[in-house]
């Protein structure tokens, strides 16, 4: 068996004092098995390819994130418009007295959320610029930016193979957009099952962040939509109820009246005085 290549620091860092460098691969060509004298963080921006790491294959694409140590052997095969950044670093060159291992997980393979990618991209761009310079301040700034990057990755990454539990902030985004996208049919139990989330934990998180329970939020959204339809369309009450997710229009009237103090028709009548706009086109598909 042939020994893998061993990439040397001297070939990849512009100076010996720089602890971090960014090796942009636009694209990443196929690259034979190798180990490094340094550590490597890989963020995949685009395309796809087969990443072999310590004999394990990973089909990689946009949003994949790898933490590679000096002893890890990896290669890229069957690449297809693969674009990635290698953030390479030498821990022994850091000057900040930090326990860096605390920011770097044992598991090598992760996924980054879309938001995490956007945040990481900005910091990596700055890092690429600063790490090319050679003055003392740039060296310090490089180290600080690297710290910022590993913290961002820590916050926005999720395990690639463990059912994909999303980070907290992202769970909420996902839930909000699912609720808003299916006001009439949203089902929290189904949603949690589909995304392998704990319903209880998600409810708690939702309440902490919004001051409401998801069901309450959904009911308010439905009532908002109902008010909008009553006011701006000629839909029959039953139709309004159905479009807002109430199967039973009597039940809809009860909830509507309890929440607004007016029955749906009384609510509608308020506006009929002002304008005879029964069959107005909706300004957008609500
Ligand atoms: C290569 C490839 C390797 C990386 C070097 C710095 O193109 O991405 O994984 O170690 O660059
Ligand atoms: Ni490498």
Domain boundaries, the chain: 5-158, 171-276
* Architecture of the domain made up of 5-158: Sandwich (2.60)
Give domain 171-276's CATH superfamily: Homeodomain-like (1.10.10.60)
Residue ID of nearest Cα to ligand 1 atom 3 = 31
The pLDDT mean for the chain works out to: 90
CB burial string 232-259: b at 16+ within 10 A, e below? bbebebeebbbbbbbeebeebbebbeee
- What are 87-107's pLDDT values in tens digits? 999 999 999 999 998 999 999
- Asked, colleague to colleague, whether 5-158 and 171-276 share their fold, the answer is no
pLDDT of residue 220: 86
Residues with CB under 5 A from ligand 2 (ion): 40
Neighbours of 30 (CB within 10 A): 12
Task: Give residue 35 CA to ligand 1 midpoint distance, Å.
Answer: 9
- What are 21-37's pLDDT values in tens digits? 999 999 999 999 999 99
* Element at 272 (helix H, strand E): helix 264-272
Task: Give residue 269 CA to ligand 2 midpoint distance, Å.
Answer: 70
């Amino acid at each position: 068996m042939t020994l893998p290549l061993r990439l040397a620091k001297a070939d990849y860092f512009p100076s010996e004092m720089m602890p971090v460098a960014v090796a942009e691969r636009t694209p990443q060509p196929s690259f034979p098995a190798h180990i490094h004298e340094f550590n490597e963080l890989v963020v995949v921006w685009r395309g796809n390819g087969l990443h072999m790491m310590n004999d394990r294959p990973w089909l990689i694409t946009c949003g994949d994130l790898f933490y590679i140590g000096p002893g890890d052997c990896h290669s890229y095969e069957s690449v297809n418009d693969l674009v990635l950044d290698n953030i390479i670093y030498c821990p022994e060159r850091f000057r900040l007295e930090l326990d860096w291992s605390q920011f770097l997980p044992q598991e090598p393979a992760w996924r980054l959320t879309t938001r995490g990618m956007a945040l990481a991209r900005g910091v990596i761009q700055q890092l690429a610029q600063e790490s090319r310079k050679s003055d003392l301040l740039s060296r310090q700034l490089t180290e600080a930016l690297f710290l910022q990057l590993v913290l961002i990755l820590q916050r926005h990454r999720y395990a690639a193979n463990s059912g994909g539990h999303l980070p907290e902030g992202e769970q909420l985004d996902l839930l909000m957009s699912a609720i808003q996208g299916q006001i009439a049919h949203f089902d929290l139990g189904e949603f949690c099952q589909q995304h392998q989330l704990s319903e209880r934990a998600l409810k708690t998180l939702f309440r902490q962040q919004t001051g409401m329970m998801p069901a309450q939020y959904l009911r308010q959204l439905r009532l908002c939509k109902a008010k909008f339809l009553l006011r701006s369309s000629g839909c029959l009450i039953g139709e309004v109820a159905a479009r807002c997710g109430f199967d039973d229009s009597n039940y809809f009237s009860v909830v509507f009246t309890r929440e607004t103090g007016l029955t749906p028709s009384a609510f509608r009548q308020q506006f009929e005085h002002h304008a005879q706009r029964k069959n107005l086109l909706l300004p957008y598909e609500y």
